Amino acid sequence: MKFNPPQTLGNIASIIGAKSIGNSDFEILGLNEIHKVEPGDIVFVDHPKYYDKALNSAATIILINKEVEAPEGKVLLISKDPFRDTLRLIDHFSPFKKAEKAITDSAKIGEGSVIQPNVFIGNNVTIGKNCRIHSGVSIYDNSVIGNNVLIHSNTVLGADAFYYQKREGAYQQFTSCGRVVIKDNVHIGANCTIDKGVTGDTEIGEGSKLDNLIHVGHDTVIGKNCLFASQVGVAGCVTIEDNVTLWGQVGVASDLTIEEGAVVYAQSGVGKTLAANKTYFGSPCEESKGKFREIYTLKRLAKENQ
């Protein structure tokens, strides 16, 4: 999430009542979680296990619950509860805005696009030219849709990330303030769900095609000309490069990469990064030739021992 206009360290400290360490005029450009941080961003950390990761990340403003030495070129915000104060900043700079009608006045819809009855289009949504959005689709606030995009009935773009922290014996949701970005010439089937980024973008690349009943988690970036068959489930913070094919019921764990041109056969479970231009199968999935030999060998041994 970027601040518009940029803020200062002193201003952010006053909003959340935190102690600042550094020049009060230090410029702050935005707020992001650890997977998406860039120079000028705030990142929060509230557990000693992750102090080094946050302090050495690209973020230049660290919201932390212990006074430590700041790396060169970085500043600190000292807070008793960094998680809580991060949510306070999100609510301050990106508050929930009620929609007053099914297609909000702030939505921008390009020439030639057809919006069927019973579609919801939220605040500040942008839809390009020559799109077709079928009945029952919900497009949440701030989503961006390119040209020549087809979205079938009952698909939801921009629901909250499945992102929680366990606090005092219960799960508290981290407020999602990111977006969904759909590039040109994408087709999305019926009953798909694409969650917005926690603080950044979930992105579907140009020319990619998604079948019915597919879920894409927060902050996942899908490349160009990918093909996903029905019931694929992709967790958050995944990078899927160009020309990847995932066949039916493939499940993909979080925070990994599927490299360009990889093909994953149906009902496989992806739990690690997959190399480019290879074919995979199984759960956990492996290169398909080896996996099929393993299955054949086990069947042969079973017959021999009957």
Active centre residues (catalytic): 218
d(CA 29, CA 27): 6
- Give dist(CA 297, CA 53) in Å, integer: 45
Paired tokens of 185: 């010439």
Beta bridge mates, 233: 215, 251
Rounded Cα distance between 236 and 253, Å, is 8
C-alpha 63/C-alpha 83 separation (Å) is 9
The pair of three-digit structure tokens given for residue 277, joined into one six-digit string:
């231009």
Provide Rg for the chain, Cα atoms: 22
Residue entry with tokens 């926690």 = 198
Angle between helices 82-93 and 9-16 (to 10 degrees): 110
**In terms of Cα–Cα distance, which of 227, 159, 165 is closest to 194?**
159
